[in-house]
Amino acid sequence: MTYTLRKARLEDRPALQALIQASARGLSRGDYTPEVVEGALAGAFGVDSDLIQDQTYFVAVEDDGSDEGLFVGCGGWGRRMTLFGGDARPDRSPQMLDPARDPARIRAFFVHPDRARQGIGRALLAACEAEARAAGFKALELMGTLPGVPLYTAMGFQPTGRVFHPLPNGQTIEFVPMRKELTDLENAADCPKD
């Protein structure tokens, strides 16, 4: 499989939403009930147009012979206060973060179930970390889904607790807030490899 990363565009929203739905439904089976997943798709999961407009949202596109390609992953980072949730979530905050004191937000990571565990999530996360660091951020925070926690842990994020978020359909979804200090990356680069 070959894919390229590019910045998401507003016209990608329908394809991104389809990818998010396929990812949530396919990769959450062992961690969330179908009712929780459907409730999360009504607000906690979804396309965030602010990320696209801020040019901080990536899409992984596999060449499938078509003009558009197949969207196999997406994810971004935010310089706004909102930690998670798509356009449908009513309590999002457009307030800008201060890189000197606030961590950047890692946001809305989804991989197609047929392409899971093939390095797409890692590539997206590395691109986001590099951009956030270049923008002056010293740390990253995210609200991890249970299926996403192993990836984030492998990439150096540490859990900071548990959150139980109410969903529009009366269900509750469990998230794991996580944090990573970007200075740790600099130090890790100097460590000898096995």
159 assigned to some structural domain: no
62: in domain:
yes
Q: What's the pLDDT band for 143 if we cut at 50, 70, 90? A: very high
pLDDT at 189 over 60: no
Write the CATH number for 104. Answer: 3.40.630.30
Per-residue pLDDT, 187:
44
Three-class DSSP category at 124: helix
Strands 172-181 and 104-111 turn out to be unpaired
pLDDT tens-place string over residues 151-167 = 999 999 999 999 999 99
- Which range has the worst mean pLDDT, 64-73, 101-110, 133-142? 64-73
Q: Using the predicted structure, report yes or no on whether residue 184 has a pLDDT greater than 60.
A: no
Reference 172, options 35, 47, 21, 48; nearest CA is 35
Tell whether the model's pLDDT for residue 188 goes beyond 60. Answer: no
Instruction: List the structure tokens of 63.
Output: 């060449």
With 80 as the cut, is the pLDDT of residue 175 above it? yes
Q: Residue 185 above 80 pLDDT?
A: no
Alpha carbon distance 128, 59 (integer Å): 11
Q: What are phi and psi of 72, to 5 degrees?
A: -115, -5
Residue 113's pLDDT band (boundaries 50, 70, 90)?
very high
Alpha-carbon torsion 104, 132, 13, 152, what sign?
negative
On whether residue 162 sits in a domain, the answer given is no
The model carries a pTM of 0.90
pLDDT one-digit tens code per residue, 75-106:
999 999 998 988 877 777 889 999 999 999 99
Output DSSP code: residue 171.
-
**DSSP-derived secondary structure letter, 11:** G
Alpha-carbon distance of 92 to 85, in angstroms, equals: 7
Q: Distance between CA atoms of 59 and 51, rounded to whole angstroms?
A: 12
Residue 60 · residue 73 · CB < 8 Å: yes
In which domain, by residue range, is 85 found?
3-137
Tally of domains within the chain = 1
Q: Does residue 77 lie within any of the structural domains?
A: yes
